[in-house]
Amino acid sequence: MKLIVGLGNPTPKYRNTYHNLGFMTIDEIAKILGMKFSKEECKSKVAVKSVGGEEVVLAKPQTFMNLSGEAVKELMRKYGTYPEELLVIYDDVDIPVGRLRLRLEGSGGTHNGMRNIVSEIHTEKFNRLRIGFKDKDVETKSVNMIDKVLSPIAYQDKEKIGTAISKAAAAVSDWVEKGTTLEKLMQELNR
């Protein structure tokens, strides 16, 4: 079983913002795997498919970012998912724009959605794929972090972000379809 969750905020208002990089990536994974988000359950839009005899669930929580853990906890309970079968994909302001970081465990860091997931499922031992969008204006405090994450993706970042989403989606699809290990993908993605 694989439960792959992309984090974001529902409603068209947030569609092309930095905080929706998880949603954008999970949509790309769904295209590659030929999956459609045809169900609404566990406070999420869900796509389910058997791949090589293994159940794969893609999910986009509809709880808004800061309550993502509620949806993840319900999904894990419904599908009998162990933490090591969970992969969460999300944006990260602490990583340079367009860079990817795959880790097999860790804290929620500064990301409120991840903090809520850790709090709700009571463990940090689950997989996560972060898509960076670090900005010098946030570092120098000339831009508020909340304003940045909820702002539309800047023109100068679009190409790097698009490439990162494609690379992330391809890697996750290899994990699902080809059985590529996350350890091997870490070596490729974290360079």
The span from the CA of 182 to the CA of 94, in Å, is 22
Catalytic residue check, 19: yes
The span from the CA of 127 to the CA of 89, in Å, is 9
DSSP 113-153: HHHHHHHHHT-S-SEEEEEEEE-HHHHTTSS-HHHHHTSBP
Nearest Cα residue to 148 out of 108, 93, 98 = 93
- Give Cβ neighbours of residue 124 (< 8 Å, ≥ 6 apart): 105, 106, 107, 108, 118
Q: Which residues pair with 127 in a beta bridge?
A: 87
Catalytic residue among 4, 5, 7, 19: 19
Tell me the catalytic residues. Answer: 19
